[in-house]
Structure 1
Amino acid sequence: MRSNDILQKEIQEALKFEPLLHAAEIGVIVKKGVVTLTGNVDLLVKKTEALHAAKRIKGVAAIVDEIQVITEKSSVVSDQKIAEELVTNFKENHIIPKGSVTITVEKGWVTLEGILPWNFQRDIAKELVENQLGVIGVINNIKLKRELYDQVEKELLEKALQRHWAFDMDEINIQVAGATVQLSGTVGSLFQKEEAERIAYKTPGIIKVVNHLKVNLEQPYLC
Structure 2
Amino acid sequence: MKSDKQLKQEVEEELEWDPAVTATEIGVEVTDRVVTLSGHPVSYAEKLAAEKAAHRVAGVKGVVVEMTVLLPQADKRSDSDIAEAVHAILHWTVGLPDDAVKVQVERGWVTLSGTVDWAYQSHIAVRSVSHMRGVVGVSNQIDIRGDVGSDDVGTKIREAMQRHAQREANHIDIAVRDGTVTLSGKVDSYAERSVARGAAWSAPGVRAVVDDLRVE
Seen in structure 2, the aligned counterparts of structure 1 residues 167 and 11 have a Cα distance that, compared at 3 Å, is farther
Two-structure CA RMSD over aligned residues (Å): 2.1
| Counterpart position of 2:185 | 185
Structure 2: unaligned runs, 5 residues or longer:
none
1:184 is aligned with what amino acid?
S
The sequence identity of aligned pairs, in percent, is: 36
Q: What is the alpha-carbon distance in structure 2 between the residues aligned to residue 25 and residue 166 of structure 1? A: 39
Q: Does 1:68 align with 2:74?
A: no
| Counterpart position of 1:103 | 103
Would the aligned equivalents of 2:145 and 2:205 in 1 still touch at CA under 8 Å? no
| Counterpart position of 1:125 | 125
1:111 is aligned with what amino acid?
T
Q: Deviations over 1:77-128 (max 9, x none)?
A: 1111111111111111122111000100111111100111111111111112
Q: What is the alpha-carbon distance in structure 1 between the residues aligned to residue 46 and residue 32 of structure 2? A: 26
Seen in structure 2, the aligned counterparts of structure 1 residues 171 and 27 have a Cα distance that, compared at 3 Å, is same
| Counterpart position of 1:5 | 5
Would the aligned equivalents of 1:166 and 1:192 in 2 still touch at CA under 8 Å? no
Within 5 Å, give how 1:141-220 maps onto structure 2: 141-146=141-146, 149-151=147-149, 152-165=152-165, 168-177=168-177, 179-216=179-216
| Counterpart position of 1:54 | 54
Q: Deviations over 1:42-79 (max 9, x none)?
A: 11100011111111112111111011111234542111
Q: What is the alpha-carbon distance in structure 2 between the residues aligned to residue 18 and residue 98 of structure 1? A: 35
Structure 1: unaligned runs, 5 residues or longer:
217-223
Give 1 or 2: higher helix fraction. Answer: 2
Aligned partner of residue 96 in structure 1, secondary structure? coil
TM-score, normalisation: structure 2: 0.89
Seen in structure 2, the aligned counterparts of structure 1 residues 176 and 86 have a Cα distance that, compared at 3 Å, is closer
- Paired positions, count: 214
Within 5 Å, give how 1:28-43 maps onto structure 2: 28-43=28-43
Q: What is the alpha-carbon distance in structure 2 between the residues aligned to residue 127 and residue 22 of structure 1? A: 20
- Distance apart, 1:166 and its partner CA: 8.4
Question: Bigger relative contact order, structure 1 or 2, given CA contacts below 8 A and separation 6+?
Answer: 1
Seen in structure 2, the aligned counterparts of structure 1 residues 76 and 122 have a Cα distance that, compared at 3 Å, is same
Q: What is the alpha-carbon distance in structure 1 between the residues aligned to residue 167 and residue 58 of structure 2? A: 13
Would the aligned equivalents of 2:22 and 2:41 in 1 still touch at CA under 8 Å? no
TM-score, normalisation: structure 1: 0.86
- Distance apart, 1:167 and its partner CA: 5.3
Seen in structure 2, the aligned counterparts of structure 1 residues 76 and 92 have a Cα distance that, compared at 3 Å, is same
Aligned partner of residue 68 in structure 2, secondary structure? strand
